[in-house]
A and B are shown apart, each in its own frame.
Chain A
């Protein structure tokens, strides 16, 4: 290794000559210099990466502010607190006094954007915008409209089951889809490939509802292999989560395989693949090493979209299988006209999505060095 380095760096240390002191000193110096250079290089990369990360996170803030403003406009400008009270109390029952009491109890009695009665900074802090909307930035989600429980606690309690469902589905479907797509790309043009494509369109055309109902009916009710729905904390959750995960992976399968197959086929037609083949590499090595590595970039770009799909799938799965996660909670909140909870969920959903995008971008930058430098 060390003997080869100087050659690679372009220095012509004559290897045939006997090792004189001067040469040895020169090599030693060179090694130190190289190590130092490599260290500098690393520092440079780390600093680039950090600035990239910081820039990426700084970019998140205005977007989140926009989401916050949109949520505020939707929940408090389009729909005034009076309307909310009327909806929550029921149109017929509500008289002005009741509405006032409801608003007072939940903190909706404040002015929306500017409080004339207060002075100084309290003009702005004693408003609905500050207390109900902006406060979500520092993690204060307020209380639920229905049972007055703090939403932060509710979210912390429910995020674990949600993640236990989402992450396995995400990883498993990524793995399954890519494996199947690679296999199809390797056998492109064959009968199997054609059949699989028809199968994928069929799988895509079936509603997720059907997968869920069929899964519950076949595996849960007829074969009695897995529980139909329910949840237990701890290790025993595995038994309950298996069916939802299976259904989730299956419902992502058709579209995913088709998408990745197109990606791989696009990549296979590139020049470097031809060069690799010309070099005499086996088809499998070309496919599983060269093509897969290069296709990683578009795959990573697709991750945020996948995350978005997951949130949608999650709502259905959690609702059907009775998993006490965030999705099921949102649906219950909508049914119960719980404005505060839905508002918090919208913000949280956007936040999680943004975090997913940032994570994907970091992976992206790690995989493709060109991206950081832009």
Chain B
């Protein structure tokens, strides 16, 4: 089972479904005048459109890293296809994502150890024997001089490559956590607000219990039980964070329930399910989008912090948190190795800052209170 989910077909399928859902949602929304108008509002500000473009670039990198395939293994010298000895089936390698294939040159330009950004020589000098057998301190030349934009790390891997690979982790944390929390928050929040009474009390009790546990402690408990990993982190943060959205949706539904159009629908004999689907859900969608946008950046930041604390995505997933964590010990060296930290910081800021600004723009455009 785990083999199947680790494999590329499942990953590709999951990404495809995610894309399809997002696309359908966008299509649905673009038909409604309210949303079209809101988008026009956003488009009028040049700054927020620039932020959207940056976010799209990040999304593209993450998507490229999520699609992948396996290619047949070839003999390193003769170049002919390798086959299984008995069954004569073609053998495949582990596969690589589209991003890996694009970054192939970057991936294989590995140095021996640290090198500064765009340097021609290694950062630390080594002792070498010269022609006369006398040991001398020299800075060896790099294998690929002036080709590492952000330098290389301790084992000589290009830092830019690591940063690009971390984009997917950040995007998954930012998007998937909210996406996981959405169905629960929508179902429970709207039901609690619409039906009231015992249903409301029960749902309120559940989310008060969950929200009274500090998120980080909940994630810690989750991680010690299920182990570290990207999926576990998303799940833990999703469970811990659906409560706030649920509370918002409940309050908004309670307000909508008293509004004239819902009262009219009730008096005309519409069923509860129909009213919720037809009248209430479309009218709370803006809250969902605003919350998702505003939460995105805080979740990306939280991932870095949690990964540093050892309750994050674990060691086998590349992420900015892990990079910062590595870089921390390098700061104590003399001379200071600053590029890994700065690159991770830059890439993180490049995602979080546009997300914050765009989130604000979305809120301003969608929130009826702010619109007038």
Contact = CB atoms under 8 A, between A and B. Distances in A.
B205 interface: yes
Contacts, number: 119
Contacts of A201: 353, 356-357, 360
B95 interface: no
Interface stretch (A94-102, A164-172, A205-213): A205-213
Given A205-B349, A353-B212, 7 more contacts: A66-B205, A74-B221, A74-B222, A209-B304, A221-B332, A330-B217, A346-B220
Contact of B356 (A63, A205, A334): A205
B225 A74 contact: yes
Contacts of A210: 324, 345
Contact of B305 (A316, A330, A334, A337): A316
A70 interface: yes
Contacts of A79: 225
A350 interface: yes
A74 B222 CA distance: 8
Return the 7 tightest CB-CB contacts between A and B, nearest first.
Answer: A66-B209, A205-B353, A205-B352, A349-B217, A311-B214, A312-B216, A349-B214
Nearest to A352: B214
Interface string A292-333: 000000000000000010011001100100000000001101
Contacts of B352: 205-207
B128 to A, nearest CB: 32
A315 B182 CA distance: 28
A349 B218 CA distance: 10
Interface in B198-231: 205-206, 208-210, 212-218, 220-225
A231 interface: no
A63 B324 CA distance: 38
Interface string B277-314: 00000000000000000000100011011001111000
A208 B305 contact: yes
Contacts of A71: 221
B164 interface: no
B214 A335 contact: no
B224 A339 contact: yes
Contact of A346 (B205, B206, B221): B221
Interface string A32-59: 0000000000000000000000000000
Contacts of B324: 207, 209-210, 213
A156 to B, nearest CB: 19
Interface in A338-354: 339, 342-343, 345-346, 349-350, 353-354
A346 B215 CA distance: 10
Contact of A331 (B214, B297, B309): B309
B328 interface: yes
B209 A316 contact: no
Interface residues of B, number: 41
A59 B321 CA distance: 39
Contact of B213 (A67, A206, A335): A67
B192 interface: no
A315 B220 CA distance: 11
A190 to B, nearest CB: 19
B349 A62 contact: no
Nearest to A70: B209
Interface of A: 62-63, 66-67, 70-71, 74-75, 78-79, 201-202, 204-210, 213, 217, 221, 308, 311-312, 315-316, 319, 330-331, 333-335, 337, 339, 342-343, 345-346, 349-350, 353-354, 357
Nearest to B354: A205
Given A201-B360, A349-B214, A334 B220 contact: yes
Contacts of B216: 311-312, 315
B213 A350 contact: yes
B224 A334 contact: yes
B328 to A, nearest CB: 6
Nearest to B349: A205
Contact of A334 (B205, B223, B297, B321): B223
B177 to A, nearest CB: 15
Contacts of B206: 66
A209 B349 CA distance: 12
Contacts of B341: 213
A74 B224 CA distance: 10
Contact of B209 (A63, A78, A334, A342): A63
A354 B213 CA distance: 9
Nearest to B341: A213
B129 to A, nearest CB: 36
B188 to A, nearest CB: 15
Given A74-B221, A207-B301, A315-B216, A334 B311 contact: yes
Contact of A209 (B212, B224, B308): B308
Q: Chain A CB within 10 Å — which of B210, B224, B309, B324 has the most?
A: B224
A242 B308 CA distance: 23
B186 to A, nearest CB: 22
B214 A343 contact: no
B242 to A, nearest CB: 14
Contact of B308 (A202, A308, A316, A335): A316
B331 interface: yes
Nearest to A305: B244
